[in-house]
Structure 1
């Protein structure tokens, strides 16, 4: 098996080690492999191919971290054809929550979610995807 080197904050490494111990993983490598598979399979639901979808994406970040609010606005404008609306609010003393409502294909939605996830200083990203036609509903 190839070895992949990844840089991450010490706090995240500590959390990975604790998670591995608490959940019976053999070590952090197994946790990262499992998480990688999950991330790669996330948007691979063939039943949603070719369907018009709606998604909500919730983003949490520390507003004091650089220019993160500007980055969220840039994403809103860059993907204007997919972003139906978005909402911004403050949560606690220093956190912001950005809510995006997306409409489009699975490819379009996954591109926007991937861009948000890859944005520096984003703490968490949660989402749900719903078909806008008659059919199976997918909630993540």
Structure 2
């Protein structure tokens, strides 16, 4: 099996180690392999291919971490063709919650979710996807 080197903050490494111990994993490599499989399979639902979909994407971040609010606005404008709505609110003392409502194909939605996940200083990204059609596959 190839060895892959990954850089991550010390606190994340500590959390991985604790998660592995708490959930019966043999170590952090097994946790990362499992999480990688889940991430890669996440948008691999062939029953949704070619269908019109709606997704909600919830993003949590620390508003004090620099330019992240501008980066969220940049995502909204870059993908304006599928971002149907965007909502921003403050949560707790220092966190912001950004909610995106997307309409489009699975490929388009996964592109936006990937762009959000790749944004530095994002704490969490959650999403749900629902078909908007009656089950018929749309032709491009």
1:105 is matched with 105
Of structures 1 and 2, the one with the larger relative CO (CA 8 A, separation 6+) is 2
Q: Give the length in aligned residue pairs.
A: 135
State the secondary structure of the residue aligned to 1:19. Answer: helix
1:30 is matched with 30
2: distance between equivalents of 1:93 and 1:15?
Answer: 23
2: distance between equivalents of 1:25 and 1:134?
Answer: 42
State the secondary structure of the residue aligned to 1:73. Answer: helix
2:72 is matched with 72
Question: What 5-or-longer segments of structure 1 have no aligned partner?
Answer: 136-140
State the secondary structure of the residue aligned to 1:17. Answer: helix
Q: Does 1:125 align with 2:125?
A: yes
Question: Normalized against structure 1, the TM-score is what?
Answer: 0.95
Question: What 5-or-longer segments of structure 2 have no aligned partner?
Answer: 136-140
2:63 is matched with 63
Large movers: runs of 4+ above 6 Å: none
**Alpha-carbon distance, 1:133 to partner:** 1.4
2: distance between equivalents of 1:79 and 1:2?
Answer: 36
Question: Normalized against structure 2, the TM-score is what?
Answer: 0.95
What is the RMSD of the two structures over their aligned residues, measured on CA atoms? 0.6
